[in-house]
Amino acid sequence: YKLIHNDSLSTDKRDVYLVEMRSLDNVLIRGWYARPKASGKFPAILHVQGYSSSQQMSWGYTGDDMAVFVLNIRGHGNRRDEINPGFPGYLQDHLKDKERYIYRGAYMDCIRAVDFLCSRDEVDSRYVVVMGGSQGGALSIATAALDNQRIKLCIPAVPFLSDFPDYFKIAGWPANEFTDYEAKNTDFGWKGIFETLSYFDIKNLAPWIKCPVYMSVGLKDVTCPPHINFAAYNQIKSRKSYVVY
């Protein structure tokens, strides 16, 4: 891990760093890390991002009583120099091969971020939290499912990437991107699309979660509607609760 101290973002109570590290397939990923200047061990929170967004340190928890990591997964924010499918384009990147599909790497980027947090002397690894909204909600659930020993609390807001076959029936975007893709790849077709997506559908990953989950839902959300939020939530077997806005 390479940490570059940022003087302008640091304060008298916490130090802020740009972090660089290698993830799946040796892809370089980056994030912003803040640690309290006080001595001791602290809970840690991993912020994962919404689709096409560029994570900034200011988007993370601003208190000085936790270690905070604000991650940019591959193809997002300051992580577009090696992989940059663009938007639109990201959701369809290597869709024909589940081993190379973009979200395999994206999910592993989140696991790599947990590796980083747990490597830090100041982090109390008994208390590692993951949270995010929309795509970040999906990444939160995926991280809690795939790393269910180290993640101790999952806070997804309006989680995306869920229940794809039904989702495409009720949401205009990004279903239209997949419709266009299918029309240009009729040999692969909807059967192939749904087969690849099934490996990354958070509804299918959710049963692996062991930590408590606190989900928030937007009742009028047309991009990540409650239907798909609860499709994943209903598969969670650990302690869970939700709030509807």
The model's pLDDT over 187-226, given as tens digits with 9 standing for 90+, comes to 999 999 999 999 999 999 999 999 999 999 999 999 999 9
Per-residue CA distances from 106 to 6, 36, 178, 234 (Å): 26, 28, 19, 24
**Confidence at 79, pLDDT banded by 50, 70, 90:** low
Per-residue CA distances from 47 to 25, 67, 130, 200 (Å): 22, 11, 6, 20
Residue 6: pLDDT over 80: yes
Find the range with the poorest average confidence among 55-59, 129-133, 140-144: 55-59
Residue 85: pLDDT over 90: no
Burial classification of residue 127, based on how many CB atoms lie within 10 Å of its CB (0-12 exposed, 13-18 middle, 19 or more buried): middle
Instruction: Dump pLDDT digits (tens) for 12-40.
Output: 999 999 999 999 999 999 999 999 999 99
pTM score: 0.96
**Measured between alpha carbons, how far is 178 from 203 in angstroms, rounded to an integer?**
19
| pLDDT for residue 100 | 97
Q: What is the mean pLDDT of the chain?
A: 95
**Confidence at 129, pLDDT banded by 50, 70, 90:** very high
**Measured between alpha carbons, how far is 210 from 192 in angstroms, rounded to an integer?**
31
| pLDDT for residue 118 | 98
The phi, psi pair for 50, rounded to 5°, reads -75, 160
